[in-house]
A = this chain, B = another copy of it.
């Protein structure tokens, strides 16, 4: 059930999916891409103001349909833990809630964030820069569940299966991703089997009633509507691991896996917007520029701001890092004295591994990990 190959006859899955492609140079966004943009959504950038993103403002990307779980059935949702374990587990939500829980504040970002700004543009969910959000996730540490089940010595990966079901590139599947056993058992970042977002049950679109949360990883790793965890003695080769979510320049190369979040800074667009162009309008004088910065690889150590489209940069002030929230974004701010005319504002994050956001974009065919700096056009009015 989890994976079927396409077959060639009429009324078969071969007719359901079109091949992956990049758009022609002059091609606008297609209605198919728009259908994804209309149902999924990003963080309105002014919502960078919230330390913790309210549901409905946090980005959402759903591959297939949001599974419907009637309220009366949520407590009976079961998670199985099986495969290369000594004692397979079957836990319903009530049992999971009775285990010791932890809460992690995690900044989550879609691996495809920035895709629609690439040239040529990979055709898929067309994010600009807004596919991000930060939430407090509460649940049971995965390593504690696996310890309870007893990991067999030959286990190498944990495979996570969600209840969302669909077709992608001709392959019918339940959404599945894996982590290495080392990542699954790590103390930091600590992976959670989460049942609360911001202190409330998960909203439907965020995995109600149960999801994986893998701090530091792009969104594809945080399997929603989590039903099963299977430990395997071979690496997982399912669609979302081996076919999708690979950094590739050509369609046929195996590519490198998409894993942790690349560093990024986003600025709260200052002033007020034009409805259609989203161009920002400010009045002359001193302004405080602020925003957030994060990396899924290492703590952000530096944010630089440019108000002249990258010709010159100055250091922003980073808010103190909160030791309890190593995998959450950091607030930053800088000062700017706006003068009448047109300006382009931008910000650039660097993390403790020395990785900085690029000023020109390396390209890959899936449009993954595109952390090119944000550019905000601003018009400062005459006094």
A residues touching B (Cβ–Cβ < 8 Å)? 9-13, 15-18, 27-47, 49, 54-57, 60, 62-66, 68, 116-117, 123-124, 126-128, 130, 165-168, 172, 203-206, 269, 272-279, 281, 340-342, 379-382
A47-B66, A123-B276 as given contacts; A379 in contact with B15, CB under 8 Å:
yes
Closest to A68 in B: B49
Partner of A128, one of B38, B172, B279, B340: B38
**Which residues of chain B are near A130, meaning CB under 8 Å?**
38-39
Closest to A45 in B: B39
Partner of A29, one of B9, B30, B40, B341: B30
Cβ contact within 8 Å between B27 and A382: no
Q: How far is the CA of A35 from the CA of B126 in the complex (A)?
A: 10
Partner of A13, one of B68, B275, B381: B381
Q: How far is the CA of A47 from the CA of B127 in the complex (A)?
A: 22
**Which residues of chain B are near A11, meaning CB under 8 Å?**
340-342, 379-382
Copies in the complex: 2
Closest to A43 in B: B39
Q: How far is the CA of A127 from the CA of B41 in the complex (A)?
A: 13
Partner of A16, one of B39, B269, B274: B274
Q: How far is the CA of A280 from the CA of B39 in the complex (A)?
A: 15
Q: How far is the CA of A374 from the CA of B342 in the complex (A)?
A: 43
Q: How far is the CA of A68 from the CA of B269 in the complex (A)?
A: 13
Cβ contact within 8 Å between B275 and A64: yes
Partner of A38, one of B56, B127, B172, B380: B127
A30-B29, A68-B46, A278-B32 as given contacts; A273 in contact with B38, CB under 8 Å:
no
Chain A to chain B: the 5 pairs with minimum beta-carbon distance, closest first? A28-B28, A41-B41, A56-B56, A29-B29, A11-B340
Cβ contact within 8 Å between A60 and B68: no
| 17 A-B pairs (CB sep. < 8 Å) | A9-B382, A11-B342, A29-B33, A31-B116, A32-B277, A34-B126, A38-B128, A39-B43, A44-B65, A44-B205, A49-B68, A55-B203, A56-B60, A64-B272, A166-B274, A166-B281, A172-B272
Cβ contact within 8 Å between A277 and B382: no
Cβ contact within 8 Å between A10 and B341: yes
Q: How far is the CA of A28 from the CA of B134 in the complex (A)?
A: 32
Closest to A24 in B: B28
Q: How far is the CA of A166 from the CA of B64 in the complex (A)?
A: 36
Q: How far is the CA of A98 from the CA of B167 in the complex (A)?
A: 52
**Which residues of chain B are near A45, meaning CB under 8 Å?**
39
Q: How far is the CA of A118 from the CA of B44 in the complex (A)?
A: 26
Partner of A205, one of B33, B35, B57: B57
Q: By CB atoms of chain B within 10 A, which of A12, A13, A117, A274 has the most?
A: A274
Q: How far is the CA of A269 from the CA of B63 in the complex (A)?
A: 15
Cβ contact within 8 Å between B17 and A64: no
**Which residues of chain B are near A16, meaning CB under 8 Å?**
274, 277, 279, 281, 379
Q: How far is the CA of A379 from the CA of B341 in the complex (A)?
A: 54
Q: How far is the CA of A126 from the CA of B167 in the complex (A)?
A: 26
Q: How far is the CB of A49 from chain B (nearest CB, A)?
A: 5
**Which residues of chain B are near A276, meaning CB under 8 Å?**
17-18, 32, 36, 123-124, 168
Cβ contact within 8 Å between B35 and A128: yes
